[in-house]
């Protein structure tokens, strides 16, 4: 439920048994440490805001594989890959955010196919219909990798 004029606050459902909740601080951003934390597949604790910001950042820089940014030793990052499905769940992505992620990922996937010279009809590359089809295909397939 959102309050008019304010962005909806993210938060995990404490009854969601598919998430593994932890009591330690958010490994990505210690500022957001008063809401419920859950563990990513790489073993680092997050709150929904921290993977949202990190992955949006990666996406805006043209990356669509999401790797954990938690520092493990000095300046060495975790770098374990998170699947989009995992990000979507643990970042508690809103409908608008999902749309933003999926549109960009579809565009980048199409560009990759194009660069690799895979056999897609030329006229499809730049058409919105192609991108819409690709998005639906990937949603249906349930996998981005
Ligand atoms: Zn990690």
90 in a domain, yes or no? yes
Residue 116: burial class (beta carbons within 10 Å; 0-12, 13-18, 19+): exposed
Tell me, rounded to whole angstroms, the distance of Cα 108 from its chain centroid: 14
- What mean pLDDT value characterizes the chain? 80
For residue 19, the CA-to-ligand 1 centroid distance in Å is: 15
pLDDT of residue 145: 43
For residue 78, the CA-to-ligand 1 centroid distance in Å is: 5
For residue 133, the CA-to-ligand 1 centroid distance in Å is: 33
pTM here is 0.73
For residue 40, the CA-to-ligand 1 centroid distance in Å is: 7
Residue 128 has pLDDT above 50, yes or no: yes
Render pLDDT for 52-85 as a digit per residue (tens, 0 to 9).
999 999 999 989 899 999 999 889 999 999 999 9
CB atoms within 10 A of CB 77: 12
Number of domains forming the structure of the chain = 1
In this prediction, residue 118 has a pLDDT band, given cuts at 50, 70 and 90, of low
Domain that holds residue 68: 21-141
pLDDT of residue 35: 84
For residue 31, the CA-to-ligand 1 centroid distance in Å is: 17
For residue 87, the CA-to-ligand 1 centroid distance in Å is: 12
Residue 138 has pLDDT above 90, yes or no: no
For residue 12, the CA-to-ligand 1 centroid distance in Å is: 19
9 in a domain, yes or no? no
16 in a domain, yes or no? no
């Amino acid at each position: 439920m959102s309050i008019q004029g304010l962005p909806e606050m993210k938060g995990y459902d404490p009854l969601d048994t598919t998430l593994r909740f932890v009591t330690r601080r958010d490994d990505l951003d210690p500022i957001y440490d008063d809401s419920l934390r859950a563990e990513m597949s790489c073993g680092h604790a997050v709150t929904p805001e921290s993977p949202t910001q990190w992955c949006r950042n990666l996406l805006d820089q043209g990356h669509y594989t999401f790797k954990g940014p938690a520092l493990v030793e000095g300046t060495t990052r975790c770098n374990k890959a998170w699947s989009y499905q995992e990000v979507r769940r643990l970042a508690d992505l809103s409908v608008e955010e999902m749309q933003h992620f999926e549109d960009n990922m579809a565009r980048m996937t199409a560009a990759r196919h194009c660069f690799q010279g895979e056999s897609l009809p030329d006229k499809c590359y730049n058409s919105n219909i192609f991108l819409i089809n690709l998005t639906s295909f990937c949603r249906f397939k349930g996998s981005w990798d």
